[in-house]
Amino acid sequence: MNIIRPIRESDNASLFSIAQASGVGFTSLPVNEALLTNKINKSIQSFNSHVTQPGDESYLFVMEDSHTKHIVGTSGIASSVGLDDAFYHYHLSKVVHASSELNIYNMVDILTLCNDYTGVSEICTLFLLPEARNGLNGRLLSKFRFLFMMEHQHRFSETIIAEMRGINNEHGQSPFWQWLEEHFFSMDFPTVDYLTGIGQKQFIAELMPKYPIYVSLLSKEAQAVIGQVHEKTKPALQMLEQEGFSCRGYVDIFDAGPTVEANLKHIRSAQASRRLPVKIHTSIDQAADSYFVINTAVENFRGITTKLQVHASADYVNIDQESATALNISDGDSIRFAPTHFRT
């Protein structure tokens, strides 16, 4: 069984290995031991903090194989982005150049640098090692966050975003960044990606063009990747779209990958989730439905995928002893759960 839990100091080496495996373009996991240690410490502090409203908390979770104790994945939530460092995006919109006298009407796309998402919550740092990409592991590692946020709504914004990795090749080269590099910067994409990951963002404010960029002036290669996702990111984007996320024209300033958003209460798994007390049984009928399940704790949070039997009165739910142990719950404690699959 794979268990989701808060990251610990002892997970440092595992997190570094995951950062190495994640590759270029995965800005939230820089291959830097000191910075990863800081991320772990900040997460531990966030889980231990008494919070009444979203602030600069950052929650980092890991997926642990309960049998081998190996860490096979990571997933995170930032309570409020842009409070400490400016949080930049390009917004893709349109302007019209028209002259009734000359009977000319041209509508063109522009990219405008903005900080529109400052203060919203972000789901981030999702990476599952290749050997664990089977069954419902990927879905659990993503979707449990919606249950956690729904359970602890006072810790998060109503608006939730996710930045999707844009297109870059096997050498870490981004067609979009190549155009920016040629005209405004003198750094390749892997260098910029690394600097952003370690928190050195001042160069963005200093060198990024302040005025809107006409998309038609970009190279054809750069234009083609605006709002497009990396091949390996397509399944994650599809899953978020099924949950109700959509792109409102915001893209990453480095690789032009799309940023998608949703209102927490409108996210399908969050909306469908229920909170009920449990009754622990030795075993559960294997014909029972599978659910993503979390306990209701913060510091001692746990999340799993398991089978449940919801009582006909819908005032309690049956769970087996193995799952209860994995969730650190006792008879009568409450859980929050959502279906692993939605019936169409």
- Looking at the DSSP assignment, which residues form a beta bridge with residue 275? 336
Establish whether 230 is a catalytic residue.
yes
Convert 154-173 to b/e letters by CB count within 10 Å (16 or more is b). Answer: ebbbeebbbbbbbbbeeebb
Q: Which of 70, 97, 230, 266 is catalytic?
A: 230
Q: Looking at the annotation, which residues are catalytic?
A: 230
